[in-house]
Amino acid sequence: MAYPVNTHPHTSRLRRWWPTAAIFGFVVALTAGAVGPSTAATEASLAPSPKHIRATRLITHLMERYHYRKTRLDDELSRALLQQFIENLDSNRSYFLIEDIRQFERSKNNFDDYLKSAELKPAYAIFTVFHKRVQERVAFAESLVQKPFDFAIDEQYRYDRRDVEWAQSQEQLDNIWRKRVKNDVLNLRLTGKDDADIVDTLRKRYRRLERRTTQLNADDVFQYFVNAYVSTVEPHTAYFSPRTSENFKIRMSLSLEGIGAVLQTENDYTEVRSVVPGGPADKSEQLKSGDRIVGVGQGVDEAMVDVIGWRLDDVVDLIRGPKGTVLRLDILPKNAGPEGPIKNITLTRNRIQLDEQAAQKSIHRVESGGRTQTIGVIELPAFYVDFEAKSRGDADFRSTTRDVGNLLTELEDAGVDGIVMDLRGNGGGSLSESTSLTGLFIESGPVVQVKDSSGRLQVNVDPDPAIVYEGPLAVLVDRQSASASEIFAGAIQDYGRGIIIGEPTFGKGTVQNLFSLDRFAGGDDTPLGQLKLTVAQFFRINGESTQHRGVVPDIVFPTVIDADDQGERSLENALPWAAIQPTAFQRHRFHDGPDPFIKTRSRHEHRIGNDAGFTYLIAEAEERAANAARKEISLLEMQRREQQEQRASESLARENRLRTALGLETVGSIDTTDEGNDTDDTDDTEFPGDVLLDEATRVLADYIVASRPGGELQQTIAGDTSVLTTSSQADQTLEVESEIVR
């Protein structure tokens, strides 16, 4: 699932991506014959048309009337809009000069008036300057490619320029680009390419950089500008051009063809936002969230195409393809620095069925309190429902609640002592399913409160008084658990029905509706696109917002280095946390006597302090955080090679320490992959194992023992005895039409 983004997921601010549609991500999954690249446009054709004027009037009307955050079109918004538009075009401050910015800022208080009057020419004029600067930079870069560079000079290249001043002069910008080209050459040298290959690769890359700007048409420029406006108000509101709307419809299909990956643009890289459960990427275990795609090859032997610097939708078009065809990708793993190393993977495109994304069960046996506890696990990748079958009136339509209800019955029949609901990576889905799923674990009562833009409050309640499962329960979440996942986890926590375990969740508690602008076209058949509009906000039954903070687990795993740089908390202009009056509900009490949670948490803290798996995951997370915090890189070839060798050596040492702890054979070398998945010839399907799930089952087993009369757990650490309370999140709508906007 593509929402919420993060976007990402792991940045300190909302990225301005190529194109703006990348804010939502694209699932690379569909049949061949997709919409082709934008038609090349001359500067003369880059002008607003009557359809853009009509769309502007509709969008400003919808924003002012229906958006949850009431925002006036005034000078303050005008200044923010201009800044956002500039950064959407040149997020890394590598093209515009300070004199350009000063020229643009002469009209900084006028863009609200431009929107009111649907005057779009000033925005197109800014883009024309941008186009000119790109042409200048590409010509300069090409002139440097064949010139020799001295890689023995000790100098640094600042590759992340988002927080620095704009270049003061042409000479300063030339020096920035000299270092950029030098770094590009050095990166390719480190991969083993010879001089001729380096020149050919970089020439094509830079020419493509200029061509992708030339190929932007009037619709693309309009989309940039409008999204600068709406994202200034709130990050989950967005305009889809007609072409982007088609990609969006494809992405929301329940049955897809392709590799099953959600992509976004991060600086010049195409980054994997997430993988779709059940897809080829997921099944291969070769492609991970955070990996960067730098090359794409068709079939088993076609030449690899360098895609660094490509616009996202063109990369998507290159990766798409029909079922059964082979795709090769060059990957810069997320644990690797910008210098590599790069690994090559091969995937076979296939059809992604709903069945493969459905809930699944497993049984785990855990030692606790002197006996073996049997723990059932239900893995839930998404909150799904077969809307078509439901609308037809089919009595047996497929849904999350039905599937999980059946699995709960099967696990109880198998005699499990407790159940873990695994919602890691679950980005949400149907709001009604999150409500009805909660009802499987409670007798009756409210689940979530929804407040719309008019201030009206609706309380969604458990639709069925029957309880399917009354036993011990834990919910495992992570930083990508969002939307319906947070509604469910928040309700379980508020009722005291189970223990929430894992990482603080994403924290997006807003509702989006999708408005087709074509409905208001007044008989004109010219497509205008769509507007995804934030229309409501979710609140937990305890009155706390499901927005921004996310659900904070009762037991927080130490695998998150900086939660403030993740999820909704990292997005600019995100709605703040808020609170309303709680609704009436009755907390569940699973145990009698002293709270068993105190002993359970102490035992957990003692255990993970000595756990090799957690030590490994924390070290990996620290390395990723260190790489993400870097903004400069050395242009000394010797130093770069030494750094590459040092990182490989440290990664190998971490892996072998964990292998030794698990009783596995050590290895002599590994590729830099996500969470230690090695790519040598050793078949270690159990390495590194699911460290987080294993600990979640141990926590629940301890809680079961401590909750029983006379149940004893040795309390090894005296810690804070308070159970954390939380907020939560969701991204679904109040109507079936928008319920699939996830």
pLDDT in tens, 601-647: 999 999 998 899 999 999 988 888 888 888 999 999 999 999 888 88
Q: Average of pLDDT values for 169-189?
A: 96
pLDDT at 15 over 50: no
| Banded pLDDT at 354 (limits 50, 70, 90) | low
Asked whether 561 and 3 are in contact (CB, 8 A), the reply is no
Q: What is the pLDDT of residue 249?
A: 55
| Banded pLDDT at 672 (limits 50, 70, 90) | very low
Residues 6+ apart with CB under 8 A from 346: 300, 326, 327, 328, 329
Q: By mean pLDDT, which of 17-26, 288-297, 418-427 is the weakest?
A: 17-26
Structure tokens, 716: 């090894």
DSSP 531-556: EEEEEEEEE-TTSBBSSSS-PPPSEE
| Banded pLDDT at 175 (limits 50, 70, 90) | very high
**Catalytic residue from among 179, 182, 508, 599:** 508
pTM attached to this predicted model: 0.79
Q: What is the pLDDT of residue 337?
A: 67
Phi, psi of 327 (to 5 degrees): -130, 135
Q: What is the pLDDT of residue 384?
A: 86
Asked whether 146 and 196 are in contact (CB, 8 A), the reply is no
User: Any catalytic annotation for residue 494?
Assistant: yes
Q: What is the pLDDT of residue 34?
A: 31
Asked whether 529 and 517 are in contact (CB, 8 A), the reply is yes
| Banded pLDDT at 254 (limits 50, 70, 90) | very low
Q: Which domains does the chain have, with CATH numbers?
A: 70-233 (no CATH), 256-352 (2.30.42.10), 355-594+724-739 (3.90.226.10)
Per-residue pLDDT tens for 17-72?
333 333 333 333 332 333 333 334 445 568 999 999 999 999 999 999 999 998 99
What are the contacts of 113-116 at 24+ separation with CB within 8 A?
Answer: 113/78, 115/56, 115/60, 115/73, 115/81, 115/229, 116/60, 116/73
Q: What is the pLDDT of residue 340?
A: 67
Tell me how far apart the alpha carbons of residues 273 and 255 are, in angstroms, rounded to a whole number.
19
Structure tokens, 618: 């924390």
User: Any catalytic annotation for residue 483?
Assistant: yes
Burial of 9 (C-beta count, 10 Å sphere; 0-12/13-18/19+):
buried
Tell me how far apart the alpha carbons of residues 23 and 26 are, in angstroms, rounded to a whole number.
9
| Terminal CA-CA length for the chain | 7
Q: By mean pLDDT, which of 170-174, 281-285, 408-412, 584-588 is the weakest?
A: 281-285
Q: Average of pLDDT values for 220-249?
A: 87
Burial of 664 (C-beta count, 10 Å sphere; 0-12/13-18/19+):
middle
Q: What is the pLDDT of residue 735?
A: 32
**Catalytic residue from among 231, 483, 728, 738:** 483
**Catalytic residue from among 314, 330, 403, 494:** 494
| Banded pLDDT at 76 (limits 50, 70, 90) | very high
| Banded pLDDT at 336 (limits 50, 70, 90) | confident
Q: What is the pLDDT of residue 305?
A: 86
Q: What is the pLDDT of residue 30?
A: 30
Q: What is the pLDDT of residue 252?
A: 44
Tell me how far apart the alpha carbons of residues 665 and 649 are, in angstroms, rounded to a whole number.
17
Neighbours of 514 (CB within 10 A): 20
Mean pLDDT of the chain: 82
